[in-house]
Chains A and B, each alone.
Chain A
Amino acid sequence: MKLSKKVILVSLFAIMALGLVFAGGGKDTAKSSQVVLKVMGYGDNSNQEGQNFVRIVSAFEAANPGVKVDYEMLYDEAYHNKVKARIAAGDLPHVAYMGSDARWGGPWQEAGAQIDHNKYIDTNLFDLSTIPADTKDGKRVYLPLGTSNLCTVVFANTKLLKELGFALPKTYADMVAMVPAAKAKGIEVFSTHGADGWAWGSCIMSSFVARTTGMTDFPERLVKGEIKFTDPTAVAALDFLTTMVKDGVLSPNSVMIDSGTGLSNFSNGKALFYMTGQWDAGSISPETQEVTALIAFPALPGEKGTAGSVAAAKQSGYGMTKSAEADGVTDAAMKFLNYFYGAEETIQRVRDGAIVAPVIKVGLPSDLPTIVKAKAAFGGSGMIETQVIDSYLTGAPNDALNAGMQEIVAGKTTGKDLAAKVEGLLRK
């Protein structure tokens, strides 16, 4: 009796174990002839980017039954953390969202994981003249989603400006002149999502420092040691934040406004100008989009050269890693990338405001939203493009700079002290 109980128990356990191991075995057998493409997607189920990614993957798999896309989709910091974890673990995806700057490309470059895409790019689809090389020897290590990513765009509510009796400002003094009228209506003149430290570097200071120093490549020169942050022209850019607060153009409360609140405030007519990257254009409410103009920050007092410049970085996008070459799935990977960058999807990205203009050979439809046309016109207006700070500056110096700018606006430090701190950390 005891023996049979033992046999029954052991048999039950064996059945359970086998069931766990071989569950869905039929399904696996059917897929064993498929190429499995490991992709790290960038997006969130709650945002357009993520929803598009999931939709594109499903459509691609339906159109290409021989390829299975095994994807992991994350957003913002979670994405960056997972990239580092997977690289450190040696678990490279075949395709991933990446860039060539310090933030988006740093971990991949460090691991030697990026490959030259020149031999894989379909030149019938992609317009190579819109895809700058990432290295001095002409390598393209990924495919940007669109043309240059404009990071320091000023969105101006033209309807509110007209109601207050003003036109688009050409100089900073024009903005200062708007302060009394704006305050009387309970409106901020200038706003940004200042709760995000990185926004001060990427979306604000990248523009100001180019204007005050007259250098389009100040961040690169700073990191190389060709110029110090304590240089008076660089400090002037930081001091300008203090000036903006003193003049009432910028509120100290802006350091507590996150992206959602900032966009909401601008959409609801609580700010005349909102400075952020072009990627936020699609997040402005449709009614406000119709009356929004895109401009570069007006002329700063005493600025040198680079008038009307906008800081821009090569747009991030998807690229293959060395794992795709090692596993021999480059054909499947490029099939996926070509589908992802296809005309229909690219035009949708332009329509959603995710990119300024396409990098593929496609004509844009005439029924694009007003703000999308405004973005494309702005991007193609021939303004000087300058470097974005955090494409070159990372780690403690960048953290100190971003937090320090928030402290300047909050009145807790000065441009001189912050410049000295950043310079000290950079040269340590």
Chain B
Amino acid sequence: MYWTNPLFVSKEECALKKRDTRDFLTFLGFILPGFIIYIFIVAYPIFYSILLSFSDYNPNIGGKWNFMGLTHYKTMLNDPDFWHAFKNNMIVVAVSVFGQIPIGFILAFILYRKQVKGANFFQSMVFLPQFLSMIVIGIMWRMLFMVDGPIARLMQSFSNDPTKQFTMMLSPNTAMIPVGIALIWVYTGFYMIIFLANLQKINDSMIEAAKIDGASEPQIFVKIIVPLLAGTILTSSILAIAGSLKGFTLIFAITTEGITRLNAEVLPIFMYRTAFQDYSNPMRFAYGATISNTVVLISILMILLSNFIGKKLGTHEEY
């Protein structure tokens, strides 16, 4: 122990301070460019959008910003179109979390355990949609569902009724079914790859030990693989929730303006229609910002809920 006089700085302390300053400047040099880009491209638009949702400002017209309080949020909560889009979005989330992830997980397990021949081929085929443009995929699925299209022809063939058509997109109660099928087709491969990568990190000896003890493949899957990959399942769920709530392109491309798009409308499309197509509403940009901020809020709440459930189920535990 020695007395430290603030007026007296030793040579070693001086050298340490110089190194710390240099390290700090180096640190700044690395993060500053990215941080500046983040501020302008991400943070500023978010901040602008939040402010816009509490105002009546129209960027096309310019002029003053007038504070509107929660007017737009109240309007949105009373708008039946919002609740219709919200319902459809929840369907998309459910399809993603309870469809894409389990199917992707099972496919990854099948490939990992070499339960099929030509694993590389199947892996490529399932992952193929990830290489395609979402617009191309959407148009392709739209053509599948069109009048006298392939699906209609199959229905006519099986039912022997030449007038049979695929009309699910024409009803708000069934429009999300073909959309859900398309979503599963597109995104299952993505989660399959995530699970496959994590499966390959598992120590084989645990599985071998289970096999020696007489465990079957389903038992290995349920009792060993799922608990080991619980963390990955949680992460995938968070990705699925965030992706589902901002999903726009595929549903926009599958549907056409009019009844099909209105029936399958999700919150991002509702926001787009409100903010960019409703010329009669001078406050459409502010209202669109309101919807957009609400999507983010819903996303945050659902992710927090996932984390909470994950903690309760022990997904953060180490094995």
Q: Which A positions have Cβ atoms within 8 angstroms of B? A: 77, 80-81, 84, 87-89, 102-103, 106-107, 110-112, 195-198, 200, 253, 255-258, 261, 394-397, 399, 402-403, 406-407, 410, 412
Contact = CB atoms under 8 A, between A and B. Distances in A.
B273 A399 contact: yes
Contacts of A261: 146-147
A111 B257 contact: no
Which of A87, A196, A406 has the most chain B CB within a 10 Å cutoff? A406
A121 B259 CA distance: 43
Contact of B279 (A88, A102, A406, A410): A102
Nearest to A77: B257
Given A197-B258, A399-B262, A407-B259, 14 more contacts: A87-B60, A195-B256, A196-B256, A197-B259, A255-B259, A256-B146, A257-B147, A258-B142, A395-B279, A402-B258, A406-B170, A410-B170, A410-B259, A412-B170
A223 to B, nearest CB: 8
Given A84-B60, A110-B60, A406 B276 contact: no
Which of B60, B145, B166, B258 has the most chain A CB within a 10 Å cutoff? B258
Name B's interface SS. Answer: loop
A403 B276 contact: no
B280 A403 contact: no
A407 B259 CA distance: 7
Contacts of B260: 195
Contacts of B256: 195-197, 258
Contacts of B285: 88
A88 B273 contact: no
Contact of A84 (B147, B171, B257, B276): B276
29 contacts: A81-B276, A88-B285, A102-B279, A102-B280, A106-B279, A110-B58, A110-B60, A110-B279, A112-B61, A197-B258, A198-B257, A255-B170, A256-B146, A256-B147, A256-B169, A256-B170, A261-B147, A394-B278, A395-B278, A395-B284, A399-B262, A399-B273, A399-B277, A402-B257, A402-B258, A403-B262, A406-B170, A407-B170, A410-B170
A111 B61 contact: yes
Contacts of A106: 279
A111 B60 contact: yes
A258 B253 CA distance: 13
Contacts of A81: 276
A253 B259 contact: no
A406 B58 contact: no
Interface string B281-292: 110110000000
A196 B60 contact: no
Which of B142, B147, B165, B260 has the most chain A CB within a 10 Å cutoff? B147
Contacts of A88: 59-60, 285
A181 to B, nearest CB: 18
B58 A195 contact: no
Interface in B246-281: 256-262, 273, 276-281
B276 A396 contact: no
Contacts of A256: 145-147, 165-167, 169-170
Contacts of B60: 84, 87-88, 107, 110-111
B259 A110 contact: no
Contact of B146 (A107, A258, A412): A258
B146 A196 contact: no
A243 B145 CA distance: 27
Given A253-B147, A258-B146, A395 B277 contact: yes
B165 A253 contact: yes
B257 A197 contact: yes
| A-B interface, 10 closest residue pairs, ranked by CB to CB distance from nearest | A197-B258, A395-B278, A106-B279, A88-B59, A406-B259, A256-B147, A395-B280, A394-B279, A403-B259, A111-B60
B258 A195 contact: yes
B252 to A, nearest CB: 9
Interface string B130-159: 000000000000100111000000000000
Contacts of B276: 80-81, 84
A122 to B, nearest CB: 31
A407 B258 CA distance: 10
A256 to B, nearest CB: 4
Contacts of A89: 59
Contacts of A80: 276-277
B53 to A, nearest CB: 15
B102 to A, nearest CB: 32
A127 B10 CA distance: 90
